Chains A and B, each alone.
Chain A
Amino acid sequence: MLEINNLHVKLEEEDKIILRGVNLKIGAGEVHAIMGPNGSGKSTLSYVLSGRDGYEVTEGSAKLEGAELLEMEPEARAAAGLFLAFQYPVEIPGVGNMTFLRTAVNAQRKARGEAEISAGDFLKLVREKAKALQIDAEMLKRPVNVGFSGGEKKRNEILQMAMLEPKMCILDETDSGLDVDAMKLVAEGVNALRGAGRSFLVITHYQRLLDHIKPDFVHIMAAGRIIKTGGPELALEVENNGYADLLAEGV
């Protein structure tokens, strides 16, 4: 599904190297988790994959089902099936959540040469998916993320994911700022989308999210590289011992 090879990235504005040769291969239907200390490059990886400005790829490639992501505009990556659930979902005053969702769904359909979804079908679909995430009609009407609590914002991200049905989902610290109940709700939303060949890359600081979203593989990232890969037990090891031992090993 996703194949990252020897990815090197620096900040565009300054000579600061963030990623120093990331290699990662995610198969169809697999769930991978990336953990790592602050500043290790986890969020940068998610931004670079989704096409945010401000980064320069100096070497390497990232392919989604064989197509080079790094040469595409952000909207083309989305249409190709990539989705990033933001760590800090963006507030957009003046744009209704419903309008936003419908615009996005139809833009992707159009990019793929499919017909637009009818207003009636869309409404039915969004209500059904919103209900599962406990997102009420009021939240759908309000401007995108404006006045939403931290938990509401994250649920709204998962709703977008459910509506857009991407192939490759990246969750950037989706658990940050969530209480236990909200985290469960979000995890249930994610788990409902698992299967059907859909792959996930879950970026997190803490093992607790991985109690709810069970990964097939866990990677430890440090100083812009993946230094260790293992199964779910690796996350537990981090939880118990911290990163220090792993970092020492990785050097």
Chain B
Amino acid sequence: MAVLQSKQDALQARIAALSFAPQGWLGAARSDALARLTAMGLPGKRDEYWRYTDPTGLNAVEAASVNLFDPGDEPAPFSGVDRLKIVFVDGVFDASQSDALALEGVKIERLSDAAEADIHWASGLYGVLETRGQSPVQRPFAALNSAFAGDGLLIRVTQTPSKPISLIYQHKAMTSDVILHHCIKVESGAEVTILENGAAAARLNHVMEIEVADGARFHHIRAQGRAHTRQAVTHLFARIGRNAAFKSFTLTANGRLTRNDAVLELLGADSVAHVAGAALGDGDFHHDDTVFITHAAERCESRQVFKKVLKNGAIGVFQGKILVKQGAQKTDGYQISQALMLDGDSQFLAKPELEIYADDVKCSHGSTSGAIDETALFYLRSRGVPLRQAQSLLVLAFLAEAISEIEDDVISEDIRQRLQSWLARHEH
């Protein structure tokens, strides 16, 4: 279908100022991505998967200015975790603040350094998983990202490293408009943990393509920046082999617009794919989790666990799909999306979808929205727990199922602390 002229014009305006670097293997990938984007156009409110989230701010030619966020005396996320730190300032790798890109069992390269080579392992990933993820649902911002990414890392894990790799995104310019693209390949039998945190930019477009080979394990824990007026659109694309594991958790506290897509394909038998999120919004907050998990092999397990705490008009969106292909017998798919409304002004929009072409599968899904349980609140207070503390305890209890998706105790405690401080800051 031809894209409308008006959509075409909007796209041209959107990408006019972006720099396009067509050299080496990466250039070819970028050209392909640009062709995909041109064929799709930018998303509009009428597109099925953009009905609940207005893409206007993401489509705008320039990023809206954002006041820099002062986290006060709250320690930065993952401070207590022994990790390899890699810092980006407004989307540009900053060697001076980063550790040396050396970690046993892992090769880390900057996208721009790898770009000019004729052949590179990442040519099998960059834009490739994104392309697979364009069907059946179009994801124009991911194509835009592949075409115009300004920076990013190519991480190849051949052996399990001694510590997590921590990507820190500092936001220093009020109008920074950032496109980051990472590719991660976890080779057979290896296990790696990737941490991400920080607001990154006034407007961030982030793509991570991940290949989890047979017998490999990938963990991803992300704390998105707390700046209130930032906008972000992120995509995780993963291809998961046999007897492998993919686990991703995202904490989102604040943000005028956040759209997190996860597109995961279970291609080998006996694997797991878990994607979870805890989102906290007070006031001008719009958070959208859009997940598409494909079961293409037998005996795989997938979990989608998304919890949102909303107040003062905050909006939460969940669009989650489980597709079980023919032959993917003994699939175990689970999906839950829940919102806790701390007042009557907030909104939660959920669209769970199941599409199943195998006859011996177990798939469950649930979606609820509700207020704090007054009976439980009274029970706690009757035992002497003050109102605010009782509320926090119940909110944390509501989020517990999502947080429990994080395997590492130190990291999950870090996340729990951040949730607790957010709740303390946003008491009535």
Contacts and interface: CB of A to CB of B under 8 A. Distances in A.
Tell me whether chain B's interface is mostly helix, strand or loop, or mixed: helix
Interface string A88-115: 0111111100001001100110010000
Interface stretch (B163-171, B266-274, B382-390): B382-390
B398 interface: yes
Interface in A128-159: 143
Given A92-B376, A103-B389, A107-B389, A75 B381 contact: yes
A164 interface: yes
A100 B396 CA distance: 12
Nearest to A166: B384
Given A92-B394, A95-B397, A164 B384 contact: yes
A74 interface: yes
Contacts of B376: 90-92
A92 B387 CA distance: 16
A51 B383 contact: no
A53 B394 contact: no
A68 B218 CA distance: 59
A164 B379 contact: no
A159 B396 CA distance: 24
A95 B393 contact: yes
Contacts of B393: 95, 103
B384 A108 contact: yes
Interface string B111-127: 00000000000000000
Given A92-B397, A93-B397, A94-B397, A51 B381 contact: yes
B379 A78 contact: no
A92 B382 contact: no
Contacts of B399: 94
A54 B394 CA distance: 21
A111 B389 CA distance: 13
B394 A75 contact: no
A183 to B, nearest CB: 22
Contact of A94 (B374, B378, B390, B398): B398
B343 interface: no
B374 A53 contact: yes
Interface residues of B, number: 24
Contacts of B5: none
A174 to B, nearest CB: 15
Contacts of A52: 378, 382
B224 to A, nearest CB: 23
Interface string B272-316: 000000000000000000000000000000000000000000000
A164 B383 contact: yes
B401 interface: yes
Contact of A74 (B375, B382, B400): B382
Nearest to B379: A90
B381 A74 contact: yes
A45 interface: no
A160 B378 CA distance: 15
A206 interface: no
A78 B383 contact: yes
Contacts of A73: 381, 386-387
Q: Which of A89, A94, A111, A164 has the most CB of B within 10 A?
A: A94
Contacts of A243: none
Interface string B397-423: 111110000000000000000000000
A86 interface: yes
Contact of B384 (A53, A90, A95, A104): A104
A84 interface: yes
A79 interface: yes
B379 A50 contact: no
Nearest to A104: B383
A53 B378 contact: yes
A79 B384 contact: yes
Given A94-B400, A95-B393, A95-B394, A51 B385 contact: no
Given A53-B374, A103-B393, A92 B379 contact: yes
A79 B381 CA distance: 10
Contacts of B398: 94
Contacts of B383: 78, 100, 104, 107-108, 160, 164
Contacts of A143: 397
Contacts of A51: 378, 381-382
Q: Which of A51, A53, A91, A92 has the most CB of B within 10 A?
A: A92
A104 B385 contact: yes
B374 A75 contact: no
B397 A50 contact: no
Interface string B361-388: 0000000000001111011111111110
Interface string A39-58: 00000000000111100000
A165 to B, nearest CB: 11
B374 A103 contact: no
Given A90-B375, A90-B376, A107 B386 contact: yes
B396 A94 contact: yes
A91 B378 CA distance: 12
A103 B393 CA distance: 9
Nearest to B378: A52
14 contacts: A53-B374, A73-B387, A75-B386, A79-B384, A83-B382, A89-B379, A90-B376, A94-B396, A95-B397, A103-B380, A104-B380, A111-B384, A111-B386, A160-B383
Interface of B: 373-376, 378-387, 389-390, 393-394, 396-401
Closest 3 CB pairs of A and B: A94-B397, A78-B384, A104-B383
Given A51-B378, A90-B379, A92-B394, 15 more contacts: A53-B378, A75-B384, A75-B386, A75-B387, A77-B382, A78-B381, A89-B379, A92-B380, A93-B397, A94-B396, A94-B398, A95-B397, A104-B384, A104-B385, A164-B384
